[in-house]
Amino acid sequence: MSNGIVIFEDDEKVAILTGIKRPSSNPKTGAMLQLSTIVKAVDPVTAHKTNQDKLICGECIHRKNSSCYVNLGQSVLQMYRAYKNGSYTKLDFNNRAVYIQQLNELGKLALIRLGAYGDCSFIPNFILTELMRYSTGVTGYTHQFFTSEKDTHRAFMISAESKNEALQAHKLNRRTFRVTHDIDDLLDNEIVCPNMNNTKITCSNCLLCDGRKLGKNIVVQVHGVNKNKFKEIPIYKH
């Protein structure tokens, strides 16, 4: 079996689950299967330069501002090349019963991160549900909640770029994951991601970022290679 498996594809995009043979070495997340969505037609660097990454990142402000924490020229580019040269196994998309069984098996007793790159809300909800059905734990995030009519899966935390956005999501009973420059300025129902003060706490043993769980909302300090380009959205506009 390859280290990555294509769990969904259409004419424009591909969703790939990696870490099948070798778990992720990401020190923040710990060992989790990682689900990414990439543009099918062009490599991720070109997709960003030509705005084709809208297909998998939608209206995410970090795509528009080029402030995304993901370094496109490294692991995402390698993933795209591996996909193009046929290194990844594909699930049986043509046989629904077999497909669902394969998704259930892949996720069984696994820890899964929805959204290593790209927004997994562009993957049909039933696929995510079947992948997570027998999993041990999940983390997930979406930037499409405020800009799309789409019914985003309840497993996603709602990525918020301001307190105002966070409050809007809380009114609709969704938990948020907010990025900020000032982690001392929190709402009453927010806590700072525990990994920031204790690197032994990883997503794989924390699992607070499962949007289906009840609990506090999460805040992190802006991070990543493009953090200086990050701007908070001062006023939420519908």
User: Rule CB under 6 A: which residues touch ligand SF4?
Assistant: 139, 193-195, 201, 203, 206-209, 218
- Cα–Cα distances in angstroms (integers) from residue 234 to residues 48, 165, 172, 178, 180, in the given order: 25, 9, 20, 13, 11
Q: How far is the CB of 93 from ligand SF4 (least distance, A)?
A: 30
Q: How far is the CB of 157 from ligand SF4 (least distance, A)?
A: 8
Residues paired with 35 in a beta bridge: 17, 114
Q: How far is the CB of 90 from ligand SF4 (least distance, A)?
A: 29
Q: CA 230 to CA 68: how far, in whole Å?
A: 8
Structure tokens at 117: 């790159």
Exposed/middle/buried for residue 11 (C-beta within 10 Å: 0-12, 13-18, 19+): exposed
Between 56 and 112, name the residue whose CB sits nearer to ligand SF4. Answer: 112
Q: How far is the CB of 209 from ligand SF4 (least distance, A)?
A: 3
Between 120 and 193, name the residue whose CB sits nearer to ligand SF4. Answer: 193
Between 176 and 195, name the residue whose CB sits nearer to ligand SF4. Answer: 195
Between 42 and 201, name the residue whose CB sits nearer to ligand SF4. Answer: 201
